[in-house]
Amino acid sequence: MSILLEAKGIKVRFAIKKAQKWPWDPVPELKAVDGVSFQIAPGETLGVVGESGCGKSTLARALIGLVPISEGEVWFDGQKVNHGDPKAMKLLRKDVQMIFQDPLASLNPRMTVGDIIAEPLRNYYPEWDKERVVTEVRAMMAKVGLLPNVINRYPHEFSGGQCQRIGIARALILKPKLVICDEPVSALDVSIQAQVVNLLKDLQKEMGLSLVFIAHDLSVVKHISDRVMVMYLGNQVETGTSEELYGKPSHPYSRALLSAVPEPDPELERNKQHILLEGELPSPISPPSGCVFRTRCLAVCDGCSEAKPSLQSLGGTHQVACPRYDIAI
């Protein structure tokens, strides 16, 4: 299998100087992402799920160079990504684009829709004349479901769903190979969410895109993803295909997440076992020793505090970071 993107042991840490008690004390570090590794094939969608604060968005920004990587490597299309080289990053961003969570906040309110979508073209193809740029912009607007007569309007004149379509058009105008979707539907109504997800699936098929799709809604992730990665407190706890993870979740945290997904059948919903996690999410500044999930895990044992569990294969692409994955909870 060919690999488009490979992340190897990604760690992102932030120095928290305000948490320093005395000037001579070491500066505490917030471990936002703590050793995450994965691969994405051309045309594949990797879903990333986990509760707020687990490091999903930080991981996305680290891949594209918006936040510095403390340790680890990112390889794209067979080449190691050098986040410190501006020229190399400009070439990377032509092939790797991002769709942000807040559709309105990610758009410049002083620019028209046409200028917003055309901006990447002007940066990468300064030799193109205005007519060619406008033709490309109108063609992309049609692909994402925007009427060509709104090209001179401003973002505040559109709904949230329309603003997200503008963001999608801006991300795809350069015809990238990979698009990182950082919770692109969380700020939208449920009916609009379905439209945007189906639009992304159609565009992926038409343009041969690979996607990293970050979301809280596990039903949406199941609908769009080929493989799913579950994160908790900056750590990767389980990875597998959608069928493997949704059909037989192995990590206690994955089971708890999936038990919270409502069933459309009222009878099944009443009879379903709901797994309630106790306690609060630990601080990423001082995470628990050993397994970071042990303070809330219902299958915890004495050995869970001794060493951080590594990912072990359950067959195929299914991996889980828990030696007690077969314990019923």
Rg (CA), the chain: 21
DSSP summary character for residue 305:
G
Q: Report if residue 251 sits inside a domain.
A: no
Decide if 305 is inside a domain.
no
The pLDDT, as a whole number, for residue 328 is 52
Is residue 284 assigned to a domain? Answer: no
Tokens linked to 106: 């990610």
Residuewise pLDDT in 10s, the chain (329 residues): 689 999 999 999 999 887 777 777 888 899 999 999 999 999 999 999 998 889 999 999 999 999 999 999 999 998 999 888 888 888 888 999 999 988 888 899 999 999 999 999 999 999 999 999 999 999 999 999 999 899 999 999 999 899 999 999 999 999 999 999 999 988 788 888 889 999 999 999 999 999 999 998 888 898 899 999 999 999 999 999 999 999 889 999 999 998 888 777 777 777 877 788 888 888 888 899 999 999 998 888 888 888 889 999 988 889 999 987 776 55
Would residue 304 count as lying in a domain? no
- pTM of this prediction exceeds 0.75: yes
Q: Rounded to 5 degrees, what angle do the CA atoms 125, 139, 155 make?
A: 85
* DSSP labels, 154-199: -GGGS-HHHHHHHHHHHHHTT--SEEEEESTTTTS-HHHHHHHHHH
Per the structure, the count of domains in the chain is 1
Using CB atoms within 10 Å of the CB of residue 308, give its burial: 0 to 12 exposed, 13 to 18 middle, 19+ buried: middle
- Rounded Cα–Cα distance for residues 170 and 302 (Å): 51
Q: What letter does residue 320 receive in the DSSP assignment?
A: E
Neighbours of 111 (CB within 10 A): 14
Residue 183 placed within a domain? yes
The count of other CB atoms within 10 Å of the CB of residue 213 is 27
In a domain, residue 250? The reply is no
CA distance 312 to 238: 9
* DSSP letter string, 59-90: HHHHHHTSS--SEEEEEETTEE--TT-HHHHH
Q: Find how far residue 179's CA is from the centre of its chain.
A: 10
Instruction: Extract the tokens encoding 269.
Output: 């919903």
Could you tell me if residue 176 is inside a domain? yes
- Numbers of helices and strands, H then E, in the chain: 10, 12
- Tell me the two tokens of residue 307: 């060493």
Q: Is 280 exposed, middle or buried (0-12, 13-18, 19+ CB in 10 A)?
A: exposed
Could you tell me the CATH number of the domain that includes residue 189? 3.40.50.300
* 148: in domain: yes
Q: Do 250 and 320 touch, CB atoms closer than 8 A?
A: yes
Domain that holds residue 94: 5-225
